[in-house]
Amino acid sequence: MTQALGGQAYLNVQDSSQEGRTYSFHHGQPNSLGVLYWRFAKFPDKERIEFTKKRDVAYVYNGNKGYEITFKGTAPQDEKTLTEYLRRREYSLEWVLRRWLNDPGVALFYEGAAVAEQKPAEQVTIMNARNQAVTIYIDPNTHLPIKKSFSWRDPVDKQRDTEDEVYDAYRPVQGIMTPHNVTRFYNGDMANQRFLNSISYNQGLSDSMFSANPSYDPNKPPAKR
């Protein structure tokens, strides 16, 4: 699968820049008409996402910190949203293939033939030394990932939640097979869908793109005049 994605070209990606349109869903139903977005990522833990035609709303992630930038200024991201983002990043395909597989104690389990998104697939689960597991469904012909799935136990209600990511419309970009349609599911319901218009790799993005200085705290009442 790693070879099908581009081999060393895939494993050596340092940064990526993409532009497209994203749609959000609530309980599987669309709750927006979709918005333009620009996403800049620098492996392993820097990301900047800008929204709207004016690109006047942005989310910046650097390490384990997240920020929201709007016309009000820059504020730390709320804890729940940041926790969800960090979890998705830790279980992302890039982290699994580039970090987990190099960890001591990682185990791979071939679970045989399966069906994913109405397509025949081969099912493989990767488990790291921290007992975190990701299941990947791989196209037996192209060897490209069709779907990735992971689950965790909610610390509040103690229920097990599952998040899936489905990849489609692969096209080669700079020697890397890149899915141009990515759909995310939460407990079986569609949660987000994004369509890439363009993407480029290894543009030498500056670290300054991912820096943010909070200018206000949304949890504090405004100062009295």
Q: Are 50 and 70 in contact (CB under 8 A)?
A: no
Mean pLDDT of 70-97: 95
Mean pLDDT of 77-82: 94
Phi, psi of 174 (to 5 degrees): 50, 40
Is residue 224 domain-resident? no
The band of 223, judged by pLDDT with boundaries at 50, 70 and 90, is low
Mean pLDDT of 196-208: 97
Is residue 218 domain-resident? no
How many domains does the structure of the chain reveal?
A: 1
Is residue 142 domain-resident? yes
Is residue 40 domain-resident? yes
Is residue 225 domain-resident? no
CATH number at residue 171: 2.50.20.10
Say how far apart CA 132 and CA 129 lie, in whole Å: 7
pLDDT digits (tens, 9 = 90+) for 19-78: 999 998 876 666 767 899 999 999 999 999 999 889 999 999 999 999 999 999 999 999
pLDDT digits (tens, 9 = 90+) for 145-187: 999 999 999 888 889 999 999 999 999 999 999 999 999 999 9
Cα distances from 159 to residues 5, 72, 112, 185, in angstroms, run: 34, 37, 28, 17
Is residue 191 domain-resident? yes
State the pTM of this model.
0.92
List beta partners, residue 160. Answer: 153
Is residue 222 domain-resident? no
List beta partners, residue 162. Answer: 151
Residue with tokens 């899915």: 179
Domain of residue 20: give its range: 2-28+35-210
Is residue 12 domain-resident? yes
